[in-house]
A and B are shown apart, each in its own frame.
Chain A
């Protein structure tokens, strides 16, 4: 049951927060270097950070990590639904095992992605 609720929650998060972030990013690229720099300064890192951007930089990272988790959770859970659509995997034990693997897999994939990204950033 939990995995079903998470499927909806992660999907709705991606549909609203994820889609809007994506459009903001695309619009910033289309608008040119200055607009893109303003986008990066707001969401990720501002070289001459004021208090406002210090806060939005932290929020930006929290949102991006959240979206990464939502992506993996929705992807793995969606793959599980494809298997269930074929009529397989309804036995209680099997069903419970795959639900658990979906949740653990999403957390693991999110952690791996961001460890990689932060390691890349540190190594310059």
Chain B
């Protein structure tokens, strides 16, 4: 293994061990969240939420479904970064910290996958679903 350039040797060695990438991704997903979550909250306020037919019609609209998928990606990415900082601040001991970070990744990636799968199913599944459900 070569020694690399001077820049290559120090890159990512700041206090967080991964330079400015985390900071930038947190801001970019924050911008995404401002747009997408605000749209989502306004939609929730305007929807008759106790009516399945109305909610289903809204969520299966292609534009809404696409926005919901983008929302899941942006929100779960952002929450992974945020909870990571929480763990780094409060969970001490290398093994426990590593375990907590692994669990966090399972939660964030698994949650996002579940959410996206549900949205696709709402948008694409035939209206009458048999027993078994989601």
Contact A45 B50 (CB under 8 A): yes
Q: A15's contact among B30, B45, B50, B83, by CB below 8 Å, is which?
A: B83
Chain B residue with Cβ nearest A40:
B50
Contact A15 B118 (CB under 8 A): no
Smallest beta-carbon distance B74→chain A, Å: 12
Instruction: Write out, one digit per residue, whether chain B residues 59-95 have a CB within 8 A of any chain A CB (1) or not (0).
Output: 1000000001000000110010011001000000000
Interface residues on B, range: 20 to 34
Smallest beta-carbon distance B100→chain A, Å: 13
Asked if B98 lies at the interface with its beta carbon under 8 angstroms from chain A, I say no
Cα-based distance from A117 to B50 in the complex (angstroms): 13
Asked if A122 lies at the interface with its beta carbon under 8 angstroms from chain B, I say no
User: Interface on chain A toward B: helix, strand, loop, or mixed SS?
Assistant: helix
Instruction: Report B-chain residues with C-beta under 8 Å of the C-beta of A97.
Output: none
Looking at A27, A30, A113, A117, the one whose CB has the most chain B CB atoms below 10 A away is A30
Asked if B125 lies at the interface with its beta carbon under 8 angstroms from chain A, I say yes
User: Interface on chain B toward A: helix, strand, loop, or mixed SS?
Assistant: helix
Contact A31 B133 (CB under 8 A): yes
Query: Which of A18-26, A50-58, A87-95, A99-107 is the interface stretch?
Result: A18-26
Contact A29 B50 (CB under 8 A): no
Instruction: Report B-chain residues with C-beta under 8 Å of the C-beta of A11.
Output: 79, 82
Q: A85's contact among B27, B41, B45, by CB below 8 Å, is which?
A: B27
Contact B82 A30 (CB under 8 A): no
| With known contacts A8-B86, A29-B122, A33-B52, A15–B115 Cβ distance under 8 A | no
Instruction: Report A-chain residues with C-beta under 8 Å of the C-beta of B125.
Output: 30
Instruction: Write out, one digit per residue, whether chain A residues 49-85 have a CB within 8 A of any chain B CB (1) or not (0).
Output: 0000000000000000000100100010011001001
Asked if B121 lies at the interface with its beta carbon under 8 angstroms from chain A, I say yes
A1-48 contacts to B, CB under 8 A, are 8, 11-12, 14-16, 19-20, 22-23, 26-37, 40, 44-45
Asked if A116 lies at the interface with its beta carbon under 8 angstroms from chain B, I say yes
| With known contacts A27-B114, A30-B125, A31-B133, A15–B119 Cβ distance under 8 A | no
| Sample of 28 A–B contacts (CB below 8 Å) | A11-B79, A11-B82, A16-B83, A20-B111, A22-B115, A23-B118, A26-B59, A27-B118, A27-B134, A29-B118, A30-B122, A30-B133, A31-B134, A32-B133, A34-B133, A35-B134, A36-B52, A36-B55, A40-B49, A40-B50, A71-B37, A71-B41, A75-B34, A75-B38, A78-B30, A78-B34, A79-B34, A82-B27
